[in-house]
């Protein structure tokens, strides 16, 4: 089986689904944000605040270039698809799955998480989600080999849908 790469907006459940897929398929799970935090010994919010978004995006690219394993589930940061180089690398790494959520679903999931999300502000959360989706949706869709609508679904249902796709 090829590696599986999960892309989508923050709040779409990439980490939860990725971990669950790893358990179900007996594959190693990697989260790019967690790996970057471990390497830099800084939170993503601290990296954005102290070093800036450009620096963080370069860390993401460097990490993708170093992946040379098979049989992994890779959960990516929401902005991973912003750079064309990253989109090319993601497709080389494995089958790309887009966890697609509506603005309302993402809002409900993110409302309590603005503290640890560097690009979000509680006061303008709805507008920010809309802007980010407008900016990124086409990039997610053109990078993905398969899209899963997450609205109204549990992580288990999403995992089962992905496993069904893989069996086809």
Per-residue pLDDT tens over the stretch 7-16 = 999 899 999 9
Where residue 129 falls among pLDDT bands split at 50, 70, 90?
confident
Rounded (10°) CA dihedral 87, 32, 132, 94 = 30
User: The whole model's pTM is what?
Assistant: 0.92
Q: Which residues pair with 98 in a beta bridge?
A: 7, 147
CATH number of the domain at 142, please: 3.40.50.300
Q: Which of 163, 124, 132 is CA-nearest to residue 146?
A: 163
**In which domain, by residue range, is 81 found?**
3-167
Q: What is the mean pLDDT of the chain?
A: 91
**Residues 71 and 57 sit within 8 Å (Cβ to Cβ):** no
Report the sign of the C-alpha dihedral through residues 11, 88, 73, 54, in that order.
negative
Q: How many domains does the chain have?
A: 1
Residues 6+ apart with CB under 8 A from 132: 9, 78, 119
pLDDT in tens, 65-111: 999 888 999 999 999 999 999 999 999 999 999 999 999 999 888 87
């Amino acid at each position: 089986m090829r590696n599986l790469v999960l892309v989508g907006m923050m709040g779409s459940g990439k980490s939860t689904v990725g971990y669950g897929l790893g358990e179900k398929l007996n594959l190693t799970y990697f989260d790019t944000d967690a790996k970057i935090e471990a390497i830099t010994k800084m939170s993503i919010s601290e990296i954005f605040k102290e070093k800036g978004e450009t620096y963080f995006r370069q860390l993401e690219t460097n990490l993708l270039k170093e992946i040379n394993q098979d049989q992994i589930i890779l959960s990516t940061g929401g902005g991973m698809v912003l750079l064309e180089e990253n989109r090319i690398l993601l497709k080389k790494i494995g089958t790309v799955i887009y966890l697609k959520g509506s603005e309302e679903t993402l809002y409900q999931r993110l409302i309590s998480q603005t503290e640890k999300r560097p690009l979000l502000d509680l006061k303008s959360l709805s507008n920010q989600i809309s802007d980010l989706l407008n900016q990124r949706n086409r990039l997610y869709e053109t990078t993905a080999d398969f899209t899963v609508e997450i609205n109204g679904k549990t992580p288990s249902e999403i995992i089962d849908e992905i496993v069904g796709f893989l069996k086809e």
